[in-house]
Amino acid sequence: MRNAVVIFTKVPKAGETKTRLTIDRGGIFTPEEAKQFYEASLLDVVDQCIASACCDVYICYNHSGDRCYLEQIIATISAPEAIKGIFPDQGGCFDAAMQYAADYILQDGGPERLADSVFIVGGDMPGLQPATIADAVKKLEELAASKKALECAKQCDRFGLGIGAAIVESADQAGGFNIIGYTCTTPFNFEEIFYNMEGGTVLDLVVQKAVEKTIPISLIEMVPDIDIPEDLGGFIPVMNTLQLAERYDPKVVAPKRTIRILREMGIESAAQVPGN
């Protein structure tokens, strides 16, 4: 099975990326610092996806983003030639834009599809590991080969490819996901996943869709994303651990750009002293 990972991102820009980390919204960064932080994180994520060596790597950016600037920063990664394609999103709302990114790869299972499965990841989880991506691919391939996955694909008139219907995802720390993958025969879409009137969590809404269509689903390890100051505070100890673990475990890759930018800014985390 051919697999693709799409890094779903905004082009880093001051005042438009990671605004919830800025001073004006209760955070610690200036708009320019927030942009610098996100740019470092995004490039670390791109490098980790390439290093996983199990997927073709694509980047989907916001339609209004500066493609020239994106290409300029991507040129600084370890292997920019490994990027199979860069394309803008379509559709306006977040649900539609993410659906476009997935459809761009899968093409509804048609012969023009770029891969048999797609994994979508965000650019704001610098702790992402190549081994996590590889594990997601392995689990999806195993699940897609199962009897129940093949039955699901057959029931949805998508059996001709011999690929079962299946989903894998990674939960984030707020009831959402930051990695989701599914095959080209999977009857899944992002409609009303992020924008819904019921107030359900993103993770629960994915499960609801899986239940409705009897889609086999599996969970991989949690990878925290960084949206608010509390997320950043919790990530810094993880970052420090990854940097040390990299010395001893060849499967661990520390987010070097993110580490460097945070240390240049003098950002550290601290726990509240009990009783204070």
Whether the Cβ atoms of residue 78 and residue 70 lie closer than 8 Å to each other = no
Number of domains making up the chain = 1
CB-based contacts of 126: which residues, under 8 Å, 6+ apart?
40, 41, 44, 45, 226, 235, 239, 255, 257, 258
CB-based contacts of 138: which residues, under 8 Å, 6+ apart?
54
Sign of the dihedral through C-alpha 79, 81, 83, 88: positive
How many Å apart are CA 55 and CA 77, to the nearest integer?
A: 17
CATH number assigned to the domain comprising residue 15: 3.90.550.10
Four-point Cα dihedral 201, 231, 89, 4, nearest 10: -90
pLDDT recorded at residue 174:
75
Residue at 78 is within a domain:
yes
Residue type, 159: F
pLDDT recorded at residue 203:
87
Residue from 71, 15, 18 nearest 43 by CA:
71
Residue at 273 is within a domain:
no
Residue from 33, 47, 41, 120 nearest 80 by CA:
47
Residue at 195 is within a domain:
yes
pLDDT recorded at residue 101:
97
From residue 155, how far is each of 158, 164, 214 by CA, in Å? 7, 11, 10
In what helix (H) or strand (E) does residue 235 lie, and over which residues does it extend?
helix 229-245
Residue at 257 is within a domain:
yes
Residue at 276 is within a domain:
no
Residue type, 52: S
Residue at 259 is within a domain:
yes
Separation of first and last alpha carbons in the chain: 55
The DSSP letter of residue 81 is G
Q: Phi first, then psi: what are they for 84, rounded to 5°?
A: -80, -25
Question: How confident is the model over 13-42, as pLDDT tens digits?
Answer: 999 999 999 999 999 999 999 999 999 999
**pTM for the complete prediction?**
0.93
pLDDT recorded at residue 271:
52
Share of the chain above pLDDT 70, in %: 94
Residue at 201 is within a domain:
yes
pLDDT recorded at residue 159:
54
Q: For the chain, state the CA radius of gyration.
A: 19
For 41, the 3-state DSSP assignment is: helix
Residue at 48 is within a domain:
yes
pLDDT recorded at residue 276:
56
Residue 129 structural domain: 3-265
* Regions of the chain short of the pLDDT cut 70: 157-160, 195-199, 269-276
